[in-house]
Chain A
């Protein structure tokens, strides 16, 4: 397996996963979405709320705010030494106290640990007028996206197979496929159609060019063929800001490794030690 990045910053990554298989590509995607833990507000104690929103709606809006997560400091509640009661090792606490008239923003949420501040400062929570007041205490815990989407670290996280475009010698450069391609992957060369440089990865495998070629009366088989490479995948991973994309990917890969090793152990237990670990 190898990964080569075409773009990588804290919030978005585009990369090619090579020497892989359909099963692994999908496992990787699913692990990044559903198994990488982040912080999100889970419990809210409301002392005062006479705003126009119900307590439940307020708590729901607070839960959706992405929080900067430090996976080295926090552990999941059930794995914590406090035994699931809640301690500074597994919970981040926040206080919020605002009087109207003004709009309550995510920056009004004061974290006890400044490392766990909300990612954005300007998320509006509720609008208050004169004499309205919100006073509350919130507790954020680490959990995974499979439990609730608010713990999902990724936004758009998906992949497609690497496109393989072959143009055979029957191509007469009629240009019908060039006009048809919605992504502008093809261009008219001197004797046949050519792939525009650095545009190949934009191909969405829609095969409109094959249809256009057939419509041009070339016969039973088109002169252009779109195939997919089952060993290479183009990924896009976007983060909500709680974790940098690189950390999401690293955690997901370690998680897959751990899970497959656990599976080998279990199979060994059942079969009496005949399963060997596969090298990756």
Chain B
């Protein structure tokens, strides 16, 4: 699961994840998505850019 907050500054970034993922998968440039979502600082931007969702791989091992 996406971390609730940015590790560095503490801004809540998890609310932006669903939209970010959708638009990135649709082929949009991550830069414009992040600018649109109002994620300004590079600490918050890396949270979304570098996230790999593995919850679906973990679900069988409850």
Contacts and interface: CB of A to CB of B under 8 A. Distances in A.
Interface of A: 50-53, 61, 64-66, 119-120, 122-127, 129, 132, 149, 152, 155-156, 238, 240-241
7 contacts: A64-B4, A66-B12, A119-B12, A122-B15, A123-B4, A240-B11, A241-B12
Contacts of B2: 124
Q: Give the 5 A-B residue pairs with the shortest CB-CB distance, closest first.
A: A64-B4, A52-B58, A122-B15, A127-B55, A155-B11
A64 B4 CA distance: 7
Contacts of B1: 53, 61, 124-127
B5 interface: yes
B18 A122 contact: yes
Task: Give the interface size bracket for B toward A.
Answer: 10 to 19
A81 to B, nearest CB: 32
Nearest to A127: B55
A156 B41 contact: yes
B26 interface: no
A78 B3 CA distance: 31
A155 B61 contact: no
Contacts of B4: 61, 64-65, 123
